[in-house]
Chain A
Amino acid sequence: MIESIIGSLNAGSKYIIPLLLVGIPFYGLAVKKVKVYEVFVEGAKDGFTIAVRIIPYLVAILVAIGMFRASGALDVLLGWLAPVLSFFGFPAENFPLAVMRPLSGSGSLGLLTDLVNEYGADSIQAKIGATMYGSSETTFYVLAVYFGSVGIVKSRHALAAGLTADAVGAMSAVFFCLLLLA
C-alpha cells in the first residue's frame, strides 16, 4: 500500500514544475490580463542581486565548517561522546551522520553512502541514516542563505531552535526506525 502511494507521489512530482511554469503565466495571461513576459523579466532581474548578496554569508559559514571538518576535530569529539551515547542507546554508527547533517549536505550524504556500503541498504544502520538524512536540512547553509539574502546578521534564536529541532529529529529517526523497522 505504502509502495503504491510513494510510487504515485514520485510519478506525480515530475509534472509539478512544468505545470507551475506554464500554469502561472496561463492564469495571469488568460484571467488577469497580465503582461507575462514583461513582468517575468522584471521579477527575474532580482535573481542576480540576491545570489550575489548571499556570497559573504556563505563564505563565512562554509569556510568555518570546511576547516572544522578537515581538522578531524569531529572524530575527536565523536570519540569522547561515544560512551555517553551508547549508554542512552543511540547507535554509535549513526552518530557521525547526526552531527554532520546540520553542518554539511555533501558531507552527510558521504557518510550515508559509507553506511550503505558497509552495512547494506537493508541494514538498520542504513535505514536510520537515510531517515536522518531525509528528515532534516543543512541548517547552517539554510541560515546563511536565507538570512544572508536580506542582509540579516543578528540571527537571534534561529540557530538554537534549528539545532534543537535537528537533535530531536535525529533521536526520532533512531526511535521510529528501531520501533518499526528493527
Chain B
Amino acid sequence: MLNYIWFGMMFIAVITGIVNGTIEAVTQAAIDMAKVAVELAIGLIGIMALWLGVMKIAEKAGLMSLIAKVVKPITVRLFPDVPPDHPAMGSIVMNMSANMLGLGNAATPLGLKAMEELQQLNPNKDTASNAMVMFLAINTSSVQLILPATVVALMGMAASEIFLTTILATTCSTITAVIMVRWLEKRKRFALESDS
C-alpha cells in the first residue's frame, strides 16, 4: 500500500506541477525536504541517546518488567503475540504514558526502544509483525490527556474548551485504530506469509 501511495503522491505532484506551472516549486520541495529529513534525524541523536541511556538503567534495574507486570491485563489483549513479562511491554507502556502526558520529546525514543524489542521477537525482519502494527496504529492515533503546547499557545483562553472534545475525538480514533488493526491483520491482502 505504501508503494502506491508513495509513488502516487510524487506522480500527482509532477503532473499537477506541469499542468499548473508549479513544477519549479515541486523540484525545490524535493531538494528541501531531503535536507529537512536528514536534519530531523540528526536532531534526534541527542534526545535519543539521553532516553535510551536512562531506559537502559530502568531495564537493568528491572523496572521495565515491573511496569509490564502492572499493566498486563490490558497489554496481553492488545499484544497477544508478545510474552506478557517481556521488556517490550514495559517500553510500550512508557511510550504510551509519555504520549498521554504530552511529552513528545520523550515519547519518540521510548517508542523506538519498544520497536527494537518487538523486532527481536519478529521472525521476518523486513515485515511488520502484528504487534508492531498495533503499536504503531495506537501511536499514530495519539492518546492524549494534555493538549500540545503549540495548541494552547495558539488558542489562548479557548484552549480549555477543546480539552474535552480532544479527548473524545482521540478516544474514537484510537478505538478505530485497534479495531481496524485486528480486522485487517487477518485479511488475505495483509496477512503474514506464515499465516496464509
How far is the CB of A35 from the nearest CB of chain B, in Å?
Answer: 8
Which residues from B are CB-within-8-Å of A65? 9, 33
B140 A137 Cβ-Cβ under 8 A: yes
Knowing A63-B33, A121-B157 touch, does A161 contact B184 (C-beta < 8 A)?
yes
How many Å lie between the Cα of A119 and that of B21 in the bound state?
Answer: 31
B12 A71 Cβ-Cβ under 8 A: yes
Encode contact with A along B154-173: 1 for CB under 8 Å, 0 otherwise. Answer: 11111111111111111011
How far is the CB of B49 from the nearest CB of chain A, in Å?
Answer: 3
Residue B77 CB within 8 A of the other chain:
no
Knowing A32-B60, A63-B34 touch, does A157 contact B140 (C-beta < 8 A)?
no
Which residues from B are CB-within-8-Å of A162? 136-137, 140-141, 177
How many Å lie between the Cα of A161 and that of B20 in the bound state?
Answer: 33
How far is the CB of A142 from the nearest CB of chain B, in Å?
Answer: 5
Which residues from B are CB-within-8-Å of A36? 57
Q: CB within 8 A of A62: which of B34, B102, B118, B190?
A: B34
B2 A159 Cβ-Cβ under 8 A: yes
B147 A44 Cβ-Cβ under 8 A: no
Q: CB within 8 A of A157: which of B102, B145, B155, B184?
A: B184
Residues of B that sit less than 8 Å from A by CB: 1-2, 5-6, 9-10, 12-14, 16-17, 20, 22-23, 25-26, 28-30, 32-34, 36-38, 40-42, 44-50, 52-63, 101-103, 105-106, 108-109, 111-112, 115-116, 118-119, 124-128, 132-133, 135-137, 139-142, 144-148, 150-152, 154-170, 172-174, 176-177, 180-181, 184-185, 187, 189-190, 192
B9 A58 Cβ-Cβ under 8 A: no
Which residues from A are CB-within-8-Å of B41? 51-52, 54-55, 58
Interface residues on A, range: 35 or more
A68 B13 Cβ-Cβ under 8 A: yes
Q: CB within 8 A of A156: which of B10, B36, B133, B144?
A: B133
Which residues from B are CB-within-8-Å of A68? 9-10, 12-13
Which residues from A are CB-within-8-Å of B158? 121-122, 126-127, 130
Query: In the complex, which residue of chain A has the Cβ closest to the Cβ of B4?
Result: A159
Which residues from B are CB-within-8-Å of A81? none
> What would be 25 A-B contacts, judged by CB atoms less than 8 Å apart?
A17-B103, A25-B57, A42-B56, A44-B52, A45-B49, A65-B33, A66-B30, A68-B10, A71-B25, A126-B155, A131-B165, A133-B151, A134-B147, A134-B170, A146-B136, A153-B127, A155-B133, A158-B133, A159-B5, A162-B136, A165-B173, A169-B169, A169-B173, A172-B172, A176-B169
